[in-house]
Every structure is written in C-alpha cells, then in structure tokens.
Amino acid sequence: EAPQPDHLNRELLYGLLDSYLKNDVVSIQESIVHHVEFTLARSRYKFDTREAYFAAAHSLRDRLIERWNDTQAWIKHKDPKRVYYLSMEFLMGRTFLNALHNLGVMQPYQHALSGLGYDMEKVQQAERDAALGNGGLGRLASCFLDSMATLNLPAWGYGIRYEYGMFRQVVSEGFQKEQPDYWLTFGYPWEIQRPHVAYPVKFYGHVSVHESQDGRQNFVWNAGEEVTAVAYDNPIPGFKTPSTINLRLWAAKPCQEFDLEAFNTGDYVSSIIDKQKAETITSVLYPDDKTFEGKELRLKQQHFMVSATLQDIVRRYKEQHETFDAFPEKVAMQLNDTHPTLGIPELMRILMDENHLGWTRSWEITTKVFSFTNHTVLPEALEQWPVSLVEKLLPRHMQIIYDINWRFVQELEQNHGISGDKLGSMSIILDTEYGKMVRMAYLALVASHTVNGVAAIHSKLIKETIFKEFHDIWPEKFQNKTNGVTQRRWLAQCNPPLNRLITETLGTEAWITHLDLLKGLAAHAEDETFQQKWAEVKVEAKAKLASLLKDLTGDDLNMDAIFDVQVKRIHEYKRQFMNILSVALRYDRIKSMTEKEKEEVVPRVVIIGGKAAPGYDMAKRIIKLISAVSETVNNDPDVGDLLKVYFVPDYNVSLAEVIVPGSDLNQQISTAGTEASGTSNMKFAMNGSLIIGTMDGANVEIAEEIGEENMFIFGVGAQEVPALRSQREYLQVDPQFQHAVNLIQNGHFGWADYFSPLIESITGSRDWYLLANDFESYLDAQERVDQEWRDKASWTRKSILSTAGSGKFSSDRTIHEYAEDIWGVEPLPPTIPE
C-alpha cells in the first residue's frame, strides 16, 4: 500500500534516496550472495551461472523496487493526469542489462560478479527473452515504456501475462517448426505478483433490465462465467532518473467462489478441472501478426485485458475522487491498435451500470479519454468480430455497441447529411453474407478523440483510404506520430564500442537522452582518422555477429564481405521473396564467371531471419526457399567466399541486439504503401547500417533526415501502386526477373513443385506486391551498393551520416509528441528540493 498523501512530503520522499541500497561492489556482492542463499536457497559456496543470474536479478530488482515504490507514491501524492498504454503485446526481450544500464550500476555489478567468479556476458545470456509480442507493434510498446519512464511521465502499461510467448522457431530441413515458448519455467525474477490486486472478469450469460424508482432503466448483466484477473507488476526504470513506472500484466485464475453444491453432489474432480479452464485465457499469445482470426479465445483475451485494466483504473481514480467529473482530466488511455477497443463499451458499462451515470454523461467522459493508433492499412488485418460471437460472449457490450452505432448513424444523418449506401459504409456494424460484423476500427474511431498513424506517409494513407469517410467528417481527429525506438537499448546497450566512440566524439553522453545531438557526428564524416575509428567499431560488431553465425552454422564468415541483413516477420508484402530472387541471380552470375572476373566481385553475406505465422502457407514456403538457396549456394565450391546465405532461426529481440550492430546493409524493401512505418530501419540507421529500401513507411522520413544520397532507394512510390496493380498483366517483365524465376522453377535449388505456388503468386496479374515491376530497379540499387562498397571511405562516410541523421527516430521524441498533442500529460520529474 502506498503511503497516504497526508503522510508524504517531498523532503521525506527524496530523503529516501540517501537510504537506498548501496551500490558499491561489496554491497552488491552481499546482496547477490544473500539472494543465492535466501531467495534461491542454494549454497553461497556453490551456484552455477544461471543461479548467479537469478540472484543478481533479484538484487537488482530490490533496487528497482525502491525507486518504483517512491515513484508510485509520488505520483499518487501529486495526482496528475496519468496515461495508460493498453496493449495486447509487449515484446520486452531481456531486462537485466537494460536495468543495469538505466540505473547506472553496470560497472559495479560487473566487478561484483567477476569478483565472485562469474562472467557478466555469460550471466546475461542466462536470461530468457520475455517475448509477449509478435513484432513491431509489441516492440514499439516496449520502447514506449522505456521512453515514458525516462521522460518522467506518470504512465502505466497494461497487458497480458501470457504463459507461452511468441513460439520458438526451429528450422528443420528448411521448414519452420513451431515450439512452445514456456518462458516461466525457472520463474521470472522481474515481476511482482499482487495476489490482492485482483478483479472478477465476466463472460457469457444474459442481460436483464430493472426499472429503478426514478423510472430509469438499470441493466444487469448476469454472467455465465467468471474468472479472476491477478496483477503481476513489472518495474520499468527510466534512464538516469529515479522515475520507475509500472507495467501491469494480468493473469487469469479461477475465481474463488466455488459452487459448493457441485462439490457435494456431483463430480468433485471435474468441478475443479472446470475451474482450471479459466487459466487458458492467458495461456498463449496469438502468433498472427497481420491476418485477423476471429477466434473466441482471442476475443476473451481482449475483454479480459481491458476489463481488468478499466476496473483497476477506475478503482485508482475513485480512491482520490468523489465524482467522475475530473475523470477526463486525470486519465488518458491509448489503444495500441484496435485490440483493446472493447475497453470503450466496458468503460461505458462501468459508468452506466455500475456507477449509474446516464448515457450522455458516460459518453462525454468516454470520448474524452480514449485515443487510438492504427498500425496497418492491409485490409486482412482489420478486426471484424461476428456480432453473434460478441453477443454470446459479452451480451451487455453488444447492446452498448449497438447503441453507440445507433447514435452515430443519427449524427451522420442529422449533422452531416449522410444517407443511403454511404451510411452503411460507415456503420460500425457491417452486414455481410455470413452475418453481421462489428468493425472494431470504426468503433475505436467513433469513440476516440484522436487517431494516429505511425509514419507520415501512413498517416496520410489512412486518411485517403481505410478511414477516408471518417476523415471527411472529422479531419481534426487525425494525427501523425512517427514511430521511434529507444536509443538506450538499440544503441547505447547493444553497441558498446559505438556508444564509446560517439560519446568521445561529441564530448558528452547527453545523446542517450537527447538523440538529436547525434547530428554533431556529421561534422566528422569526412575526417579520415574518425572514419578509421568508425570502421574499426563496425568490424568489432561484425565479429560478434560472425561468432553468432559460427555457433549456428560452424562457418567462418568472410569479414570483408558486406553483411547484408533482412530481419523481420516473413510476409509477402515485405518481399523477402524479392531478396532471395536477387540472391539466386547473383549466384547464377558468379557461377558463369571466369576466375579473373570473380576477382572483381564484391563478397556478400546475406542474412535473413524472421518468423512466419503458423498458418501462413506462403510465408512458410518463402522460408523453405531461402533455406534451399542457402543450401545450394553455401556448398558450391565455385562460389566460395563470394556469396553466403543464411537463414537465422528464431529471430527475436536478443538476436536483434547482435544482428543490428553487426550489419553493413539492411533491406527495407516492402511494396510502397504497405509497411506502416517499420522500426528496425531506425535501429539499423542508428547503428550505421546503410538502407536499401523503397519509399515506404518511415524510410521516407529517414531519407529526409539522412539524405537519399546516403541510402539506396529504389522502386515505385505509393501513389503509383494502385494504377500499376490494375495493369499488372500487361506490365513488362524484366528478363533478369524471368531468369531468376526460371532458376527456381527449373529446380536449380530443388523442391520445384513445392515452390510453384510462390512462383504463381508473382506471375502476371497475381503479382499483388509488384515484385516483377520493382525488380529491375532493385537490382540497380544492389549494383550501386556494390559500387559504393569498393570505395571504403565513401561507404564509411555514409555510415556515419546514417547514425548522425537518425536523431529524429528516438521514441523519446515520439512519446513527447503523444504526451503533448494527444494525452495532455506532463512530466513529473522527481527533482530533489532545494
């Protein structure tokens, strides 16, 4: 329990800083050994590396808890407007190194551990990734938490504590196999279970109406099933600030109220088993990142998350306020895509049915607190739930959604003069041949005060395409918030040599919180000695990546080769297929060269990694194709060191922390208009990796910042895509494209039959993502890459300018904009009083 506001004052609170656990080497060793003995109950004379990790993690957690308790007490005392970031996914990765770094205790911990006989690097490796997300959307949420803490914002994250995170990808004979990621086996040392922070979450049943004395209708939801949501808190430290915010993840537990009758009369064992079913709600993360799947369990997860979260937020608000009048001044909620949209009818239900506010008042409050982010324009990803399912699972919510829609349609007719087909096209409820559907994005749009896209081009596109009619009536609701990534994890921590060089060159480490300062590097881009140092740092990072690949494959990489990387979820729109087609062509060219000609070839190591959704057949075939090409190329003595291709299995956050710094070139080659933003492009640019890419997503803004001439831009622009798509069958096919396709079709890499659906998908009018059309221009850009590599100084200069130009892409900038333009929350810096 946080201290009551009356008992708090600044002096008391910040006096505590002096009494915090000491961070000298001996104190840290004492606390590690203490945890070995008393938390792990192991002998202090005999513990292995994993136990050393757990003990060190617990000792660090103690230090996090001090700051976190004080931050929460301080926020409660000041009672500012708080922002709640609601997301079904948080792709956190590892915590240990990040917490050490943000708390500024890296050095003493390193010494403490080595003094006890443990290697910091190995201890770190003992931590498992918390992979509670699919990809960009989940990782963005995690970067945002880091920035919100660092910017001292009164912020919370809310999500689900899945027991099985993103599946583990195993590649066997070139085929993806999914294995469960039970990441909690040895316990998760960073979380704090809060058994007393628990709420009932209801499902199914029916709604009854009762007339109250004042003639008002009261709706009562008699649920058919109830589970308990239990809170697990995860402290999120800011960098160089005591501010430590909370990520609260909910786990489902059977509710306490057993039906005693069933025990005595019926089957005792099966009634307990029935109760256990509750836990399945939070058991597994859905691994689909782009196609909407209307599974009942997924809808249950969404309601479970938002219901527990809203009960918690309302409870916290009511502790300090008598009425709901101030709710919109105290609460902002950001919906990370439409996945938490049920929070809208849930808040309406809580206000009306449980707190007896009228519709108008409840709606006024609701529409002032929610805002929502769209992350894709791909129609197959947009959530549409069958009305029949929502009605069955959440009967009261379905009524409220109908009411929201009814009033919305009225408004369209009366205030905007809209009628007929257009009314139907804007309705939250869509009539289809399979029945009625709830369009979640429309529900989110109607109830949110703001909707944003995640890069300038994407925010423009949503206004012109998927949300056009809404933009026509409510232009003021639409904003852009270009994504960002945290430079703490994605530069300072994952690339220590570059961190040191930047700090030494700028004469300050202030860039770790003010990334714009990186532009100061541009002045040194031409400096030969600086270029030399820059190149050495890159070699160091490449060596780390090479050693990772050596462990995976046994191969020694050619360090003179361009390390050419494409790592991200496997998708047709991201065009890994186009990448591998060009690799096949490169291979074929080398094969036909004389030894003399080969001397001129710029060597490449092509690295591709990423997971395919388990049900995404095409994506799985693409993985097999990459593996097949890899198999042929890597074992061909004619090619030797000039070309290698690797598919890195189980791409995840921790692998990215090695792969990103170690790359020379990175591929961001989606069909223009399909990738909302991309965030790995920002990470690569920060680490001095050059981009070969299309004018899509955030690439457009990256080009503005670092200069198109310092990238390898190719392909058609988003504006040209619709017309090209309609002319697909008549488009000229580049002969080199045809040749690459033939190689695969003719079985050059084996498995010709298995690859034929892939070939069909890019043939003639089927080629939705315009591979054939962009191929020539792609090859041309690849040629420019090779040319550039031959001029080491010029390449290094561009690499420096990439980092120098990446200042805009800090999530600190993004979060600052959200806070100012959308949430209306202000930093609450924990400054020590004079």
The footprint of ligand T68 (CB under 6 A) covers 134-138, 140, 289-290, 375-376, 381, 454, 483, 675-679, 697
Report phi then psi at 638, rounded to 5.
Answer: -65, -25
Question: Tokens for 432?
Answer: 């289809």
d(CA 470, CA 467): 5
3-state helix, strand, coil in the chain (%, to 5): 55, 15, 30
Task: Answer whether 750's CB lies under 8 Å from 628's CB.
Answer: yes
Answer left, alpha or beta for residue 419, where phi above 0 means left and psi between -120 and 50 means alpha. beta
Please identify, using beta-carbon distances, which residue of 189 and 697 lies nearer to ligand T68.
697
Q: Minimal distance in Å, beta carbon 289 to ligand T68?
A: 4
Going by C-alpha positions, the residue among 99, 118, 112, 408 that lies closest to residue 237 is: 99
Q: Which residue is associated with the tokens 């186009």? A: 578
The three-state (H, E, C) secondary structure of 451-519, written as one string: EEECCHHHHHHHHHCCCHHHHHHCHHHEEECCCCECHHHHHHHCCHHHHHHHHHHHCCCHHHCCHHHHH
Please identify, using beta-carbon distances, which residue of 72 and 376 lies nearer to ligand T68.
376
Residues in the chain: 834
Question: Tokens for 409?
Answer: 């349609």
d(CA 438, CA 292): 13
Please identify, using beta-carbon distances, which residue of 530 and 577 lies nearer to ligand T68.
577
| Torsion, CA 318, CA 319, CA 323, CA 328, rounded to 10 | -60
For the chain, the maximum distance between any two Cα atoms, rounded to a whole number of angstroms, is 96
Q: Minimal distance in Å, beta carbon 334 to ligand T68?
A: 12
Question: Tokens for 650?
Answer: 């189980």
- Looking at 248, 683, 797, 798, which residue is catalytic? 683
Residue 300 falls in the annotated catalytic set: no
Task: Answer whether 303's CB lies under 8 Å from 201's CB.
Answer: yes
d(CA 411, CA 121): 61
Q: Which residues on neighbouring strands pair with residue 438, listed in sequence order? A: 385, 429
Number of residue whose CB is nearest ligand T68 = 136
Residue 542 falls in the annotated catalytic set: no
Task: Answer whether 549's CB lies under 8 Å from 557's CB.
Answer: yes
d(CA 170, CA 469): 45
List Cβ neighbours of 532 (8 Å cut-off, separation of 6 or more).
none
Residue 137 parent element (H or E)? helix 136-150
d(CA 377, CA 15): 51
List Cβ neighbours of 386 (8 Å cut-off, separation of 6 or more).
294, 434, 435, 436, 437, 438
Residue 568 falls in the annotated catalytic set: yes
Task: Answer whether 724's CB lies under 8 Å from 773's CB.
Answer: yes
Please identify, using beta-carbon distances, which residue of 87 and 689 lies nearer to ligand T68.
87
| Residue 246: strand, helix, or coil | strand
Residue 450 parent element (H or E)? strand 450-453
Other CB atoms closer than 10 Å to residue 416's CB: what's the count? 15
Residue 280 falls in the annotated catalytic set: no
Task: Answer whether 164's CB lies under 8 Å from 283's CB.
Answer: yes
Residue 679 falls in the annotated catalytic set: yes
Q: Minimal distance in Å, beta carbon 607 to ligand T68?
A: 20
Task: Answer whether 658's CB lies under 8 Å from 494's CB.
Answer: yes
Residue 596 falls in the annotated catalytic set: no
Report phi then psi at 556, rounded to 5.
Answer: -95, 125
d(CA 265, CA 273): 16
- Strand duo 168-172 + 175-179: pairing: antiparallel
- Looking at 244, 679, 694, 803, which residue is catalytic? 679
Question: Tokens for 681?
Answer: 């492009």
Question: Tokens for 20?
Answer: 């915090």
Angle between helices 576-591 and 617-634 (to 10 degrees): 20
Q: List the catalytic residues.
A: 375, 568-569, 574, 679, 683
